[in-house]
């Protein structure tokens, strides 16, 4: 059976698709990039913004239009909170929630090899994502994830070690650990002892082989000093920490339901810099939250500029159904657009400033096979085209 896969959203979702693909292939499925000729189309959706859901619906409609025989399956965060919005598109659309993902192969009639619980290669990618955690119950008033991924789960420690070993043996020189709340990882060892993220990393950096680990994203309260110290003591953990900030204004943080204040964030950034002088700290910033006044936005802008982060992922507030803030009157779209544009401009300035510190220096980059790659501290650099994808190589920052 020819199977087409489409993924929307985060690294955790991309891992879910890749694992589903490996499992269906072990049951005789053949992945194809041509959805018009597929017998089965699997769409793994995202609900973090209204736009992500709209893109998913548009894609499903295209599948329905351009392939009138394939079985169409939609899973992921969208059907986990609004299955009817998808099944109403056509009787041909089958919906499965995130909770159903584990049994999805069986639901689709595939007999899966029992030992396919992890990945041994990540197709079409130089670096491999490894999902080690799932679930979030945080009180963020704008976020739908606690509705779509409510249950905490952590991958057993020996499963993580074996999976990383297999991926490194397959040529992936960089492993990106991912989860919904990566910092809440609490995996069990074979003896039943619980390991937090730092303890897991201690075991990972002790593994043989030429590879390094990148952490996808950590909440500000999940960056303990011991983690910063471990990262400083080894070159097997990338000097790049992506830590969502969302706002630098304490009143806005409070109304968002975020559980820290700007000084807590600043303290963690300074702690990381003390341990790792070349560290890149990047942040998510949500702009245009309904209670964000002009003054609060200017406060956020000024504070981020002064903190000198290495880059931002700025995105406008999106009203999510069923969230606490859904009842708040949203700001005018033009305000969101102006503020997002200004933060993107600030991010470009911060990136240039951060890069400027390293021009002329040597760093280690992961080759992507296209003549480019990322350094450990998240600088985009040129890499000799002859270096195979997935290999770590010394380069000069130009
Ligand atoms: S921490 Fe907050 S923003 Fe992040 S997934 Fe959980 S609820 Fe959503």
Query: Looking at residue 345, what is its pLDDT?
Result: 98
Residue pair 283/331 in contact by the 8 Å Cβ criterion: no
Would you say the CB of residue 279 lies under 6 angstroms from ligand 1? no
Q: Which string of DSSP letters, residue by residue, matches 238-293?
A: -SEEE---B-S-HHHHHHHT-S--HHHHHHHHHHHHHH-TT-EEEEEEEE--TT--
Residue 11 CA to residue 30 CA, distance in Å, equals: 23
Atom of ligand 1 nearest to the CA of 258: 2
Q: Tell me, in angstroms, the distance from the centre of ligand 1 to residue 96's CA.
A: 22
Residue pair 179/132 in contact by the 8 Å Cβ criterion: yes
Does domain 122-238 fall under CATH 3.30.310.10? My reply is no
| Of 127, 135, 125, 196, residue with least CA distance to 160 | 196
Residue recorded with tokens 């999902």: 131
Residues 6+ away with beta carbon under 8 Å from 25: 31
Query: Looking at residue 65, what is its pLDDT?
Result: 97
Q: Tell me, in angstroms, the distance from the centre of ligand 1 to residue 140's CA.
A: 6
Residue pair 243/283 in contact by the 8 Å Cβ criterion: yes
Structure token pair of residue 271: 């702690």
329: helix, strand or coil: coil
Residues 6+ away with beta carbon under 8 Å from 150: 135, 136, 137
Would you say the CB of residue 31 lies under 6 angstroms from ligand 1? no
195: helix, strand or coil: strand
Q: Tell me, in angstroms, the distance from the centre of ligand 1 to residue 239's CA.
A: 23
Residues across the chain: 398
37: helix, strand or coil: helix
Q: How many helices (H) and strands (E) does the chain have?
A: 13, 19
Residue 354 CA to residue 380 CA, distance in Å, equals: 12
Query: Looking at residue 117, what is its pLDDT?
Result: 84
Q: Tell me, in angstroms, the distance from the centre of ligand 1 to residue 141's CA.
A: 9
Q: Which string of DSSP letters, residue by residue, matches 123-191?
A: TT-SSEEEE-EE------TT--HHHHS-S-EE--HHHHHHHHHHHHHTT--EEEEE-SSGGG--EEPTT
Atom of ligand 1 nearest to the CA of 144: 8
* Domain extents in the chain: 2-107, 122-238, 240-356, 362-396
Query: Looking at residue 251, what is its pLDDT?
Result: 98
Distance from first CA to last CA of the chain, Å, rounded? 48
Coarse DSSP helix, strand, coil percentages of the chain, rounded to the nearest 5 percent: 40, 20, 40
Would you say the CB of residue 46 lies under 6 angstroms from ligand 1? no
Q: Is the dihedral of CA 166, 171, 177, 178 positive or negative?
A: negative
Element (H, E) at 337: helix 333-356
Residue pair 220/262 in contact by the 8 Å Cβ criterion: no
2-107 and 240-356: same fold?
no
Does domain 2-107 fall under CATH 3.40.1190.20? My reply is no
Residue pair 180/12 in contact by the 8 Å Cβ criterion: yes
Q: What is the mean pLDDT of each run of 10 residues along the chain (398 residues)?
A: 98 98 96 97 97 97 97 98 98 97 95 86 95 98 97 97 97 98 98 97 97 98 98 98 98 98 98 98 98 98 98 96 94 97 98 96 95 96 93 94
Does domain 240-356 fall under CATH 3.30.750.200? My reply is yes
Residue pair 183/241 in contact by the 8 Å Cβ criterion: no
């Amino acid at each position: 059976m020819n199977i087409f896969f489409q993924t929307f959203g985060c690294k955790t979702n991309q891992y879910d698709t890749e694992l589903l693909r490996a499992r269906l292939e072990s049951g005789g499925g053949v992945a194809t990039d041509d959805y018009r000729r597929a017998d089965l189309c699997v769409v793994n959706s995202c609900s973090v913004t209204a736009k992500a859901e709209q893109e998913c619906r548009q894609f499903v409609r295209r599948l329905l239009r351009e392939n009138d025989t394939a079985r169409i399956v939609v899973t992921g965060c969208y059907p986990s909170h609004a299955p009817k919005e998808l099944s109403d598109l056509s009787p041909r659309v089958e919906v499965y929630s995130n909770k159903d993902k584990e049994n999805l192969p069986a639901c689709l009639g595939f007999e899966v090899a029992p030992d396919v619980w992890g990945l041994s290669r990540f197709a079409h990618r130089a670096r491999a994502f490894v999902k080690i955690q799932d679930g979030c119950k945080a009180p963020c008033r704008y976020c739908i994830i606690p509705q779509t991924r409510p249950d905490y789960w952590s991958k057993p420690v020996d499963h993580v070690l074996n999976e990383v070993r297999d991926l490194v043996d397959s040529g992936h020189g960089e492993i990106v650990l991912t989860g919904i709340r990566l910092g809440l990882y609490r995996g069990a060892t074979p003896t039943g002892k619980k390991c937090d993220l730092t303890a897991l990393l201690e075991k990972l950096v002790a593994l043989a082989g030429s590879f390094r680990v990148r952490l996808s994203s950590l909440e500000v309260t999940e960056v303990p000093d011991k983690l910063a110290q471990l990262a400083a003591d080894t070159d097997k953990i990338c000097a790049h920490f992506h830590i969502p900030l969302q706002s630098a204004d304490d009143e806005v943080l409070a109304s968002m339901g975020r559980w820290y204040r700007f000084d807590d964030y600043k303290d963690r950034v300074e702690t990381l810099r003390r341990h790792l002088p070349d560290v890149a700290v990047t942040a998510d910033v949500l702009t245009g939250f309904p209670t964000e006044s002009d003054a609060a936005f200017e406060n956020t802008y000024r504070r981020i500029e002064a903190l000198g982060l290495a880059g931002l992922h700025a995105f406008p507030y999106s009203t999510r159904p069923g969230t606490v803030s859904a009842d708040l009157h949203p700001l005018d779209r033009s305000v969101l657009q102006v503020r997002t544009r200004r933060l993107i401009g600030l991010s470009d300035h911060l990136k240039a400033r951060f890069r400027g510190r390293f021009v002329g220096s040597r760093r280690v980059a992961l080759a992507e096979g296209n003549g480019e790659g990322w350094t450990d501290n998240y600088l985009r650099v040129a890499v000799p085209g002859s270096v195979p994808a997935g290999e770590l190589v010394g380069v000069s920052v130009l």
